Chains A and B, each alone.
Chain A
Amino acid sequence: MLRLGGSVIGFESSGSSSASKGESVADTIRIVSSYADVCAIRHPKEGAALVASRHALIPVINAGDGGHQHPTQTLTDLMTIYNVKGRLDRLTIGFCGDLKFGRTVHSLISACVKYHGVSFILVSPRELKLPGYVREEIEAAGAPCAETDNLGETIADMDVLYMTRVQRERFFNEEDYVRLKDTYILNKQKLASARPDLAVMHPLPRVNEISTEIDRDPRALYFKQAEYGCYIRMALIKDLLKEARG
């Protein structure tokens, strides 16, 4: 926003806004509507952005609603894939980690099923499998989809590998977390069996699911991806403002 010449009004953390004092999303957005020209909302509850958009007088961007969707990250991801692969169709895309609460995964799959010849490899622990509504989208599109809990065995088939964080708090007990977390870490050894043109992506921030030894591998695209994220959000804001002003 600043790079577009605009200024920002923001609630830095959920604790500093009136939302933490119990103000509803509807009320908050009504107020924001009278101060701002466009609004990006990130909220821990699923569907918060939809509620906001229904009460807003300005364009509302969903910047992540709980474990549901994250559409601007998806624009970023699509731009990254397109730039490195030159296409968005005929790709085998692997998703690894927390597929249940990984909102960037849900949004990206929703987008990818629209392209011809895309197939999916879903790598996650049993506890963190893709939710039913996203699975239904894959089925409705008739896209091939394989499920596994083993990254090492399936990485060789992938054109794109989309890593996500497996968070400690998603597990019922520490034992399960410790037992499972290493399975979903990408390291040099696993990457050795991957295709030479694999695109390794991650919405960031990462914790330890991608070993830093991979950062210098040309297949590691996550920092490039973060850079594209800035451009695509600038483009989106510009577009929405243009539209809003007719």
Chain B
Amino acid sequence: MTHHSLTVDRIERGLVIDHISAGSGMKIYHHLNLDDLDCAVAMIRNVKSGKYGHKDIIKIENNIYLDLNVLGYLDPNITVNVIEDGVITGKQKLILPTRIRNIVKCKNPRCITSIEQEVDHIFELTNEGARSYRCVYCEQAAPKTE
């Protein structure tokens, strides 16, 4: 029961990013730039989870804007719970973004992004079933997450 008291009920208002595959919590934390937030952020690692074995959880106090779709690319099993007055008021399954910007870098040494300074690294979803993305400049496959 100690796990449960850790995961949800302490937060009054905010977001709980749940079902992060164990070990990926810090990666998600960095990709969402949570370091930059002024509000309280809790990173909980290796929580026991019936469905997934173990998982990581990130709790964010207060309502902030997060690009939730990018989580769909980073880890499709993630769920986001919206907490108000200490209870879950919404649960959102994430969809795959059609386009991701500056989340991963193109690894093709012949790609224009390897030398051009002001250019964003943009990948587009090319196959939803396979969750595959390709660089919009050179069409190199994006590195697979997880």
Contacts and interface: CB of A to CB of B under 8 A. Distances in A.
B141 interface: yes
Interface string A15-45: 0000000001110000000000000000111
Contacts of B137: 46-47, 50-51
B116 A26 contact: yes
15 contacts: A24-B116, A24-B117, A25-B116, A26-B118, A43-B112, A46-B137, A47-B113, A47-B135, A48-B116, A51-B137, A66-B138, A68-B138, A133-B134, A136-B126, A136-B127
Given A45-B110, A46-B110, A136-B126, A68 B115 contact: no
Interface in B78-110: 108, 110
Contacts of B140: 133
B116 A51 contact: yes
Interface residues of B, number: 21
Interface of A: 24-26, 43-48, 50-51, 65-68, 131-133, 136
Contacts of A48: 112, 116
Contacts, number: 55
Interface of B: 108, 110-119, 126-127, 134-141
A24 B114 CA distance: 12
B115 A26 contact: no
Nearest to A134: B139
Given A45-B112, A65-B112, A132-B141, 4 more contacts: A46-B137, A47-B135, A47-B137, A67-B110
Contact of A47 (B112, B118, B127): B112
A104 to B, nearest CB: 16
Contacts of A45: 110-112, 114-116
A51 B115 contact: no
